[in-house]
Amino acid sequence: MATAKIAITIEEDILRRLDLLVKSHTFANRSKAIQEAIKEKLGKVEKNRLEAECAKLDPEFEQALADEGLSSETGEWPEY
C-alpha cells in the first residue's frame, strides 16, 4: 500500500510514552505505532457513525418494508 510522509505536532508526554512502547518492542517504530493508533481510532469512529445511523431506523417500518418485498416475490419462488 502506498504511504505518505507527514509531520505532526505531539505533546511531549505522549511522545515519551510512545517512545517507551517502541523501546519495549511493542511497535517497530514511531510511524508504525502512530499508524496503528490512527487505524484503530478511525475504525471506532466509523463504527460509531454506523451505530448512530442504524439508531435512526424505525424497526417496525424496516420490518414492514422487508415483509412487503418478500410477499411480492414468494409467487416467483419455485416449489420444493
C-alpha span between 38 and 64 (Å, rounded): 40
Q: Return the pLDDT at 72.
A: 59
**Of 53, 74, 71, 51, nearest to 63 (Cα)?**
71
- Report CA 47 to chain centroid distance, whole Å: 5
C-alpha span between 20 and 27 (Å, rounded): 10
User: What is the value of pTM for the model shown?
Assistant: 0.61
Kindly give the confidence (pLDDT) of every residue in the chain, 80 residues in length, as a single tens digit, with 9 standing for 90 and above.
899 999 999 999 999 999 999 999 999 999 999 999 999 999 999 998 888 888 888 888 888 887 876 665 566 667 77
Cell for 11?
505533546
Q: Return the pLDDT at 77.
A: 66
**Of 43, 40, 3, 10, nearest to 19 (Cα)?**
10
Q: Return the pLDDT at 63.
A: 84
